[in-house]
Amino acid sequence: MLDLLEKKPVILLLLSALVIMIGTAVTMIAPFTWINDPSLKIAGVKPYTPLQLEGRDIYVREGCNNCHTQTVRPLVADVARYAPGSTDGYSKVGEFVYDQPHLWGSRRTGPDLARIGGKYPDAWHYKHMADPQSMVPKSNMPGYAFMRQPLDSSLTERKMKALGFPYTPAELEAVKGKTEMDALVAYLQKLGNDIPWRKAAAAAPLVGELKNPYTDNASALNEGKLLVSQNCAQCHGEELKGGIGPALTSLARPEGEIFSTIFKGRGGMPAFGDTLGREKVWKIVTYLGSRTGKK
């Protein structure tokens, strides 16, 4: 059979083209159709507000999707990193029914942003966008301080109508006077916030007794000081006197409670347990306790 096809290159070419077209339809065209199927919508997933939609357009304009993906794959490592504590935190088709086009991406020069919404307070994003290295010292992301410029909202209503998104006159009016950075932060804060994965993550218990294994350990104090400088000072200040986050100079809570807060996150502070691990978090607690005198 193969010998026969080799002797008839035109037929071989046509059959090859047919196979490629079928593969393209199955792997590329069909998913584009499924992704915007209203029947796959997840309860709680809402259309973009005018400000969020403008932020999404700026995200695309600046090429953010070239470095950041927006999909948590159903792999153990992906779920553990981007939806810590949840066994069902990977991305679902219904999350993207309002995305035209979707921004899944394929390159992770920067971290995935599918679950970034609500992970940090607005102030963190503003500072990070203006000067990324001030929040993530090793980041190679460029600064976007120029986005403090006024947002052009002249086409906002037309965009909402074109996509069929509901809006109110008050929402359109609220866009006026905003900056491009306001819009982008609003968009980032929506990502992953319409689904309940975070509740499952927050419910994950801490295993083992919450007893500090590094009490009065001098080497742990030094390492804890370095860890605080690398992971906490960006929000709480170099002297831990406060900034985006509260001051950490007079912690009156027990060490176990402080450990739990850092490990699991709370009130806009991300969970550090999945990135630092128990030992490093305890060293941070040890150092903070040495500054405040609380045990």
User: Which tens digits make up the pLDDT trace of 162-191?
Assistant: 999 999 999 999 999 999 999 999 999 999
Fold classification of 50-202 is: Cytochrome Bc1 Complex; Chain D, domain 2 (1.10.760)
- Report yes or no: 200 and 89 within 8 Å, Cβ to Cβ: yes
218-292 and 50-202 share a CATH fold: yes
- Report yes or no: 283 and 218 within 8 Å, Cβ to Cβ: no
Token digits of residue 21? 């077209």
- Report yes or no: 67 and 113 within 8 Å, Cβ to Cβ: no
Q: CATH says 218-292 is which class? A: mainly alpha
Q: What is the pLDDT of residue 165?
A: 96
User: Which tens digits make up the pLDDT trace of 181-224?
Assistant: 999 999 999 999 898 776 655 545 555 567 888 887 888 888 99
Token digits of residue 122? 């607005």
Q: What is the pLDDT of residue 35?
A: 63
The domain spans of the chain are 50-202, 218-292
Q: What is the pLDDT of residue 7?
A: 73
Rg over alpha carbons for the chain, rounded to the nearest Å, is: 24
User: Which tens digits make up the pLDDT trace of 117-130?
Assistant: 988 899 999 999 99
Residue that the structure tokens 């400088």 belong to: 229
In single-letter form, the type of residue at position 198 comes to R
